[in-house]
């Protein structure tokens, strides 16, 4: 009795305890009559306790369960045979269900009083009575109202509505779910039969409604999991985890029903005019989207790819704003911040297409990699798009709401999908001129003009990276001070670039020429000043500069860019080479495209890596690499310079593509002597005396690059005389092959 009392006190109300207290205070041991009377009093009290326990397991008032739910329960038990699991020889498998159905008087009798056949007979009578009374009973008001609104929105049939009501109810009603579990593991075929019985609808209609072509599936509201077997609830997939609760508890609008999967986009921070670097594509895209939204054109799909932070989402918002359209974004995370898998996102997308078909709207589907490329081919798993290939193809042909598909990379996308998009274009990192404007807008008050220009030289610097770094630094600017804020901004930018796999910020201007520079100090077999004049007039040309390292090939490219008043885009072999087959060609094409967009002079150093003689090629990709370079060279409208230290072995067809081939060689004696004199002036050293001339003449492989190396040494090992400078030049020449050869006449 003490254990019973403690158990009651732990779990149940003061009211029940108050009822028990008088009975428990008595001492029935010496009074048999009182003991019997107390025992009789305890029966209803015990039943109340038991019911309290059941209500704790099944929230809500069981007696208030909707009649239609009770009818479905009885159909599962009687028509589908669930009673075999529900009614056992000595009692019920679920007392709460027995209470709801009106069998509470059979709960917890003495073992000898439970009559299995009588219970089964009463259960059948309850079923017959329910069929007469509740066959047309309505469901809860919120659920009915929301189903009716969805029916008007997407065109649901009466059968569709009934299935949707049941799918929502089995998610929300614990007893309905538990009772359906007694049907066991169901195949798709058995699901159709079970729903036909439970909803009292013809099975062919159930099959048609839940087919892949049915509105329920196409809208993403309800679909049948056709893989393997599961419980009835497990086989019926709803739009999202929170969808059932929203349908049953509030008057919901379409956007709220898609909560956690699709959301209205926020205000954009950029305008379409900020994307001038892709104006050729926008000149097609803008009128096409305008036509589609005006005429209701179906199957409009745009695939936009580019590195993270290049502004793809902002472009979608800017386009929607310009067109006067609502923009809805398919979420990649749910309300709790957990990732949403590709299958679930596709279902949300389908629903959005149905929900917003009658609105002037656009849909943005960001991070499509989890749909089109989420499989692991090594282990044989297919992407969501591959598994749902037929539906994807049909959707790309028929979707009523124009859609912008956004991706960080097009790599791995099946070409069969690519050809089904109306437009496919890349959103690259903005050109330097625009990067400078973005930097001025975000942190012009943090950086001086020189630093700003140097940071803008980072070719992989995306707008989002700038905005984030500026936001961080500005929040702690008062603590850092002006100088500290500038340093912090550079460090954040550099760290982010490096983390993304790009080159960190350079601490000097890569396009800056030496303080002492003039083409007259370059030993070339062409008049470089005259070449520059011709290039300036034509604004186009293809030059091949070849010769030993340090002879001034790259410096001449920098100087020529300055004469053209054009940006300089330098690409080295390490920038373009990739271990992935086919990506080298893509990198080459991207470099030429970037230079064309920026109006830049393109200089590719170590071009011999890409123009090896195809006659000696042993692998197919070596041939395709040369072919790609030749194609890009011929189609490039600007100034292109290729430099190499290894002229021998270049493809002969490639050499014919160059307008001019210029050989750069070691300095002539008079050039070397004049450079020495000018560097002495720069370093504030005395004028070199004639006795040094013979030493300079013996430097057979002296280049302008050797002077640059000596100047770098001067920063930490000061050169105190012209003789010391010549010694430094001698040391640079001694490490070269063939350094004993003289360049002079002595």
726-736 confidence digits (pLDDT tens): 999 999 998 88
**Nearby residues of 392 by Cβ (< 8 Å), 6 or more positions away:** 385, 417
Give dist(CA 68, CA 65) in Å, integer: 8
Angle at Cα 49 formed by Cα 47 and Cα 51, nearest 5°? 70
Strands 423-426 and 301-305: parallel
Give dist(CA 740, CA 730) in Å, integer: 11
Give dist(CA 223, CA 347) in Å, integer: 9
pTM of the shown model: 0.66
The phi-psi region of residue 695 (left if phi > 0; otherwise alpha if psi is between -120 and 50; otherwise beta) is alpha
Give dist(CA 516, CA 707) in Å, integer: 10
- Tokens (6 digits) for 154: 């997407």
Averaged pLDDT, 64-68: 86
Contact 5, 19 (CB under 8 A): no
Contact 166, 198 (CB under 8 A): yes
Give me the pLDDT at residue 504, please. 86
Contact 333, 339 (CB under 8 A): yes
Of 233-237, 393-397, 592-596, where does mean pLDDT reach its minimum?
Answer: 393-397
**What pLDDT digit, counting tens, does each position of 198-215 carry?**
999 999 999 999 998 899
Give me the pLDDT at residue 376, please. 46
**Nearby residues of 473 by Cβ (< 8 Å), 6 or more positions away:** 443, 446, 480, 485, 488, 489, 492
What is the percent of the chain with per-residue pLDDT over 90, rounded to a whole number? 42
- DSSP annotation of 336 reads T
Give yes or no for residue 424 having a pLDDT over 90. Answer: yes
Give dist(CA 161, CA 154) in Å, integer: 11
Averaged pLDDT, 23-30: 42
Give yes or no for residue 17 having a pLDDT over 90. Answer: no
**What pLDDT digit, counting tens, does each position of 300-344 carry?**
999 999 888 888 999 999 999 999 999 999 987 766 666 777 778
Give yes or no for residue 356 having a pLDDT over 60. Answer: yes
- Residues facing residue 362 across a β-bridge: 327
Of 99-103, 121-125, 252-256, 415-419, where does mean pLDDT reach its minimum?
Answer: 252-256
Give yes or no for residue 239 having a pLDDT over 90. Answer: no
Give dist(CA 292, CA 501) in Å, integer: 39
Averaged pLDDT, 559-566: 92
* Residue with the two structure tokens 């969501």: 384
Radius of gyration in angstroms for the set of CA atoms belonging to the chain, rounded to a whole number: 40
- Give 387-428 as a DSSP string: HTHHHHHHHHHH-SS-EEEEES--TT--HHHHTTSSEEEE--
- Give 273-286 as a DSSP string: GGGGGGHHHHHHHH
Give dist(CA 397, CA 298) in Å, integer: 7
């Amino acid at each position: 009795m003490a254990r019973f009392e403690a158990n009651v006190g732990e779990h149940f109300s003061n009211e029940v305890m108050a009822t028990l207290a008088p009975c428990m205070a008595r001492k029935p041991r010496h009074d048999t009559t009182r003991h019997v009377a107390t025992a009789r009093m305890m029966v209803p009290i015990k039943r109340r306790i038991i019911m309290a326990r059941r209500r704790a397991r099944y929230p809500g008032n069981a007696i208030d369960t909707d009649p239609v739910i009770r009818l479905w329960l009885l159909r599962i038990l009687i028509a589908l045979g669930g009673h075999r699991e529900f009614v056992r020889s000595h009692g019920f498998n679920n007392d709460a269900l027995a209470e709801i159905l009106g069998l509470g008087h059979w709960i917890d009798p003495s073992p000898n009083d439970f009559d299995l056949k009588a219970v089964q007979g009463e259960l059948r009578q309850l079923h017959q009575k329910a069929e007469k009374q509740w066959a047309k009973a309505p469901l809860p008001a919120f659920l009915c109202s929301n189903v009716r609104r969805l029916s008007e929105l997407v065109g649901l049939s009466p059968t569709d509505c009934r299935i949707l009501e049941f799918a929502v109810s089995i998610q929300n009603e614990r007893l309905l779910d538990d009772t359906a579990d007694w049907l066991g593991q169901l195949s798709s075929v058995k699901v159709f039969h079970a729903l036909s019985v439970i909803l009292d609808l013809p099975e062919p209609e159930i099959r048609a409604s839940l087919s892949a072509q049915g509105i329920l599936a196409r809208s993403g509201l309800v679909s049948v999991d056709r893989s393997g077997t599961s419980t009835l609830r497990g086989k019926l997939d709803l739009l999202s985890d929170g969808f059932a609760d929203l349908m049953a508890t509030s008057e919901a609008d379409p956007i709220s029903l898609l909560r956690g999967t699709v959301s209205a986009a926020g205000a954009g921070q950029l305008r379409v005019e900020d994307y001038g670097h892709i104006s050729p594509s926008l000149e097609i895209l803008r009128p096409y989207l305008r036509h589609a939204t005006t005429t209701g054109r179906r199957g409009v799909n745009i695939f936009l790819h580019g590195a993270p932070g290049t502004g793809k989402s902002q472009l979608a918002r800017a386009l929607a704003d310009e067109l006067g359209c609502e923009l809805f974004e398919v979420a990649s995370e749910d309300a709790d911040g957990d990732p949403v898998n590709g299958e679930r996102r596709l279902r949300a997308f389908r629903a959005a297409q149905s929900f917003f078909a009658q609105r002037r709207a656009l849909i943005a589907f960001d991070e499509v990699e989890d749909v089109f490329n989420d499989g692991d081919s090594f282990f044989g798993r297919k992407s969501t798009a591959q598994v749902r290939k037929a539906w994807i193809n049909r959707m790309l042909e028929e979707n009523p709401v124009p859609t912008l598909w956004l991706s960080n990379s097009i790599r791995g996308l099946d070409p069969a999908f690519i050809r089904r998009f109306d437009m496919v274009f890349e959103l690259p990192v903005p050109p330097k001129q625009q990067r400078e404007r973005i930097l001025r807008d975000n942190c012009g008050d943090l950086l001086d003009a020189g630093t700003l220009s140097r940071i803008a030289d980072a070719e992989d610097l995306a707008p989002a990276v700038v905005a984030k770094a500026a936001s961080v630094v500005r929040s702690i600017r008062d603590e850092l001070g002006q100088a500290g804020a500038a340093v912090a901004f550079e460090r954040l930018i550099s760290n982010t670039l490096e983390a993304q796999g790009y080159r960190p910020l350079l601490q000097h201007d890569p396009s800056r020429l030496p303080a002492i520079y003039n083409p007259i100090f370059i030993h070339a077999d062409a008049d470089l000043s005259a070449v520059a004049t011709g290039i300036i007039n034509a604004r186009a040309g293809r030059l091949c500069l070849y010769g030993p390292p340090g002879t001034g090939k790259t410096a001449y490219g920098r100087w020529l860019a300055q004469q053209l008043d054009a940006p300089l885009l330098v690409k080295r072999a390490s920038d373009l080479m990739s271990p992935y087959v086919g990506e080298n060609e893509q990198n080459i094409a991207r470099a030429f495209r970037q230079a064309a967009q920026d109006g830049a002079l393109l200089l590719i150093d170590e071009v011999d890596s890409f123009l090896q003689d195809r006659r000696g090629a042993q692998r197919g990709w070596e041939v395709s690499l040369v072919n790609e370079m030749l194609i890009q060279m011929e189609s490039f409208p600007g100034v292109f310079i290729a430099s190499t230290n290894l002229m021998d072995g270049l493809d002969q067809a490639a050499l014919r593509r160059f307008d001019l081939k210029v050989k750069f060689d070691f300095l002539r004696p008079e050039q070397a002597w004049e450079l020495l004199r000018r560097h002495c002036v720069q370093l504030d050293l005395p004028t070199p005396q004639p006795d040094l001339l013979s030493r300079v003449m013996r430097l057979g492989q002296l280049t302008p690059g050797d002077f640059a190396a000596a100047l770098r040494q001067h920063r930490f090992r000061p050169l105190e005389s012209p003789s010391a400078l010549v010694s430094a030049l001698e040391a640079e020449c001694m490490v070269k092959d063939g350094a004993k050869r003289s360049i002079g006449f002595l």
